[in-house]
Structure 1
Amino acid sequence: MTYTLDRTIRDADFETVDERTRKALADKGFGVLTEIDVKATMKKKLDKDMAGYRILGACNPGMAWEAIGAEPKVGAMLPCNVILRETDDGIEVSAIDPVESMMAVDNDELKQIAGKVRDMLAEAVQAI
């Protein structure tokens, strides 16, 4: 079972993939609400070195509106996280699969909304 939608980019550096990811998300109606530079945080807090790792908290306002309308507590599971991570093979981009992340919620309407969001995120990941 996989819980992310993944793609490895081999033809660009970390910052270029970040820019391409943000554009692909924006083209599908997602904004980046939060950003965590995990590499910098681990260095600052633990004095540990690691490869590039960034978490982008992406949100499509229309889909968030629908999801919250269907299940008010779903906000605890938002926004949809997208990670960028340096690997030996290139820059891996992984977006959460909303269908998998909502499996614990017994709400058929929410599951339908999650399916739409998954499709939108999958298209964004493939467009990077």
Structure 2
Amino acid sequence: MFHYTVETSRSVQAAVEALEDALKSEKFGVLWDFNVKETLNGKGFDFNQSMRILEVCNPEEANKVLAENELVSYFLPCKVVVYESDGKTKIGMPKPTELIRFLDDAKLNGIAEDIEQRMIATIDSVK
């Protein structure tokens, strides 16, 4: 499966706040917090699903993978999505290992695996 997704008992807002704190322990920062519902409603669309897309980055890891292959830039920054679905809050992300597979590079695969495991642990810590 190309993504990792869990359910949480937290609200979307509480999950986002907890994620921001937890990501810091892995030296990831939130570069952008895209509030999809707020943005689409502000543009005149009737979108009622709470959804936040966080773009997150660990500068050391970004530098490491970009030094190996600039095409990795197509996959940066990492995304974490927090949303409501069927009355439940979910937290998910596309798996870095699935994205990096397109570049067919064993060294990058290893780095992506490490990042993926750290991101999964972070998500699991706030669910």
TM-score under structure 2 normalisation? 0.92
Write out aligned runs for 1:101-112 (5 A).
101-112=99-110
Q: Unmatched 5+ residue regions in structure 1?
A: none
Aligned 8 A contact 1:95 1:125 in 2: no
How far off its partner does 1:46 sit? 4.2
Amino acid at match of 2:7: T
- Runs (4 or more) in structure 1 with deviation over 2 Å come to none
Q: Which residue of 2 aligns with 1:18?
A: 16
Q: Which residue of 2 aligns with 1:116?
A: 114
**C-alpha separation between the residues in 1 aligned to 2:15 and 2:111?**
28
Q: Per-residue displacement from partner, 1:18-56 (whole Å, max 9, x unpaired)?
A: 111111111111101122111112212242222100100
**C-alpha separation between the residues in 2 aligned to 1:24 and 1:49?**
29
**C-alpha separation between the residues in 2 aligned to 1:55 and 1:113?**
23
Aligned 8 A contact 1:71 1:107 in 2: no
**C-alpha separation between the residues in 2 aligned to 1:35 and 1:57?**
7
After superposition, the CA RMSD in angstroms is: 1.3
How far off its partner does 1:67 sit? 0.6
Aligned 8 A contact 1:5 1:125 in 2: no
Write out aligned runs for 1:1-128 (5 A).
2-10=1-9, 12-128=10-126
Amino acid at match of 2:5: D
Q: Unmatched 5+ residue regions in structure 2?
A: none
The number of aligned residues is: 126
TM-score under structure 1 normalisation? 0.91
